[in-house]
Structure 1
Amino acid sequence: MGRKIAVISALQEELSEILQLMPDEQRVPIGGRTFWQGHLQDHDVVAVLSGIGKVAAATTTAVLLERFEPEMVIVTGVAGGLSMDASVGDIVVGTGFSQHDMDASPLFQRWEMPGYGRSRFDADPVLVQVLQEAAKDAVTWLPKLLDAQTMTELGLHRPHVHQGDIITGDRFISTAADSNALRAAFPEAWAVDMETAAVAQVCHDHGIPFGAVRVVSDRADEEAHVDFQHFLNQVARHYSARIVRKALNLL
């Protein structure tokens, strides 16, 4: 007996590849979003495009949980590599999520979420393990998808899978100065994006297990805007579909 699982993507390219795995998907428009219901790996699946940014991600997740009542939520997509050990093509399986632009001081400690007494939301440990195995499969499979020349052109050498924190903010990080500042403030963070921590907060509010996996598309520096779209089209959209299919097979 399968489960009811929700998959959230931030970008259309990622979502399109996942929908191709769901031949019976049905379109359900709600609140300016389109939700897709179907089946994948014997599970009932709801897939949705969140849009970019924390507000878009939070509103999408709230509607998703209220209307479709999934048993768990998975976010997949791309992110900027923050750790010095995170290279383009690596995959980060999130273990904790914080908002790097949250600052209600002096009323609260910097980065603390008002009303929560915390600055970090944890990933579901079962989903962490499942996504870890799915990500390992994806990095092994990638050289079979791309030839050696394409791997070299994209700067992909030997992609690795990492577990660690992912931080979120309403800003595309595209300078070395900004990434250095975030690295100093969040030494445990492996990647930075614009949606994940917002989704984690809404899932926390509803008591729904949550997991996230992000593919490093750029180094969050001056070349980020150049690398991002190219990597998304050539690699990340295929990665996302492979990871989701494998993860659902393991659940």
Structure 2
Amino acid sequence: MPRIAVVAATRWECQAVASILSDGRAGLIGGVPCLDGRRGAHQVFVVRTGVGPLQAARAAASFLDACPVDVVLSAGYTCLLTQGAVGDVVVATEVAPLSGDHTENQGPVSTGAGLPCETALGALAAQVAGQRTHHVHAGRVVSGPRVAVTREEKRHIATKTGAVGLDMESAAIAGAAARRRIPMGVVRVASDVLDEDLPLDFNRCLGPCGWMTGVALCVRRPLRLIGLMKFRRDVSAATMVLTEVYGGVLDRYE
């Protein structure tokens, strides 16, 4: 029975995939929260790392040391760095870490060495998404240490890297898989797009008191709530696509 690890940062991203599994059992493997379930003939582990490259690196390494698998998939949301729409599917051909000042200060941006993604897996994901009439963007995905908040910041990263998608975890997950010689792919769904600001600076909400920071920011500027409601709808739309695409990929993976 093929053993597949689907790795994501947050419980919402994990739930999007866990919802299509049967016989799911939640627990800890290597100290990492995960759900062990089935999809057809596949044993699927949905692994929650937490947000950001450091947490992703630690969690992916701990899980993979404790639970050998045949393939690793980085799942979840992504910022689309090319023209497109929320709900578009991003399939990585390679993934690379992002370094430098990629804020709206337009500082230097560079990437580390890219890690190639499994070609057949990417082709399968693109085919599944295309058959479900979702637009697919295949290319380089970069992972940074912070959320890209403004359209200027997003354009800066896109111009400097040529990437089609930006997240915070995929490069760390890919590194953990590569060191263990496990095939790896990145299949994510756009929750925000190139020419649009996020309604909040979510970097300020990533700490232990993050939700309180978010509330305080909204209290100071109530109009942010309108943007947050739109963002919530966008994330919900991306979640539905994530569930649909991963259902198709897991059904057809051999």
- TM-score scaled to structure 1, two decimals? 0.79
CA distance in 2, matches of 1:174, 1:98: 20
Matched-pair contact (CA < 8 Å) for 1:86–1:190: no
Larger RCO, structures 1/2 (Cα 8 Å, 6+ apart): 1
Q: Does 1:206 align with 2:180?
A: yes
CA, structure 1 residues 240+65, in 2 after alignment: closer, same or farther (shift >3 Å)?
same
Residue by residue over 1:114-152, the C-alpha shift from the partner in whole angstroms, topping out at 9 and shown as x without a partner, is xxxxx11110111111111222244x3xxxxxxxxxxxx
CA contact (8 A) 1:5 1:73 kept: yes
Task: Confirm or deny: 8 A CA contact 1:14 1:238 kept in the other structure.
Answer: no
Distance verdict in 2 for CA 1:163–1:68, change over 3 Å:
same
Q: Structure 1 residues 176, 77: closer, same or farther in 2, change over 3 A?
A: same
Q: Deviations over 1:81-110 (max 9, x none)?
A: 112x2322211111111111269xxxxxx8
The residue type paired with residue 167 of structure 1 is: V
SS at match of 1:184: helix
- 2:121 and 2:171 map into 1 onto residues whose CA distance is 16
Partner deviation per Cα, 1:203-239 (whole Å, 9 max, x = no partner):
1111100001121111255532345433122x12222
Match of 1:35, SS? strand
The Cα shift of 1:112 comes to: 5.9
Instruction: Find out whether 1:229 has 2:227 as its counterpart.
Output: no
Unaligned runs of 5+ in 2: 102-108, 200-226
Root-mean-square deviation over aligned CA pairs: 2.0
Give, in angstroms, the shift of residue 31 of structure 1.
5.7
SS of equivalent to 1:24: strand
Alignment correspondent of 2:203: none
Q: How big is the shift at 1:21?
A: 2.0
Matching of residue 250 in structure 1 with residue 244 in structure 2: no
Question: Of the candidates 142, 156, 159, which is equivalent to residue 167 of structure 1?
Answer: 142
Conserved? CA contact 2:10–2:51, under 8 Å: yes
SS at 1:60's partner residue?
helix
Q: Which digits, 9 at most, give the CA deviation of each residue in 1:66-86, with x for residues without a partner? A: 111010011111111112x23
Q: Is the 8 A contact 1:133 1:247 kept in 2?
A: no
Q: Give the count of matched residue pairs.
A: 217
Residue 90 (str. 1) matches residue 88 (str. 2): yes
Question: For residue 205 of structure 2, what is the aligned residue in structure 1?
Answer: none
Q: Kindly state the Cα deviation for residue 38 of structure 1 after the two structures are TM-superposed.
A: 1.6
Native 8 Å contact 1:91 1:214 kept in 2: yes
Alignment of 1:178-193 (within 5 A): 178-187=153-162, 189-193=163-167
Q: Which runs of 5+ in 1 are unaligned?
A: 104-109, 114-118, 141-158
What is the aligned partner in structure 1 of residue 73 from structure 2?
74
Cα distance, 1:137–1:111 mapped onto 2, change above 3 Å? same
Question: Residue 25 of structure 2 aligns to which amino acid in structure 1?
Answer: Q
How do 1:1-251 and structure 2 match up within 5 A?
A: 2-30=1-29, 33-83=32-82, 85-101=83-99, 111=110, 113=112, 119-138=113-132, 140=133, 159-187=134-162, 189-220=163-194, 223-225=197-199, 226=227, 227-233=230-236, 235-251=237-253
Report the Cα offset of residue 9 of structure 1: 1.8
Q: Report the CA distance shift for 1:192/1:236 in structure 2 as closer, same or farther (over 3 A).
A: same
Q: Is this contact kept in 2: 1:98–1:120, CA < 8 A?
A: yes
Q: Report the Cα offset of residue 179 of structure 1.
A: 1.5
1:178 aligned counterpart, secondary structure? helix
Counterpart CA distance in 1 for 2:16 and 2:68 is 23
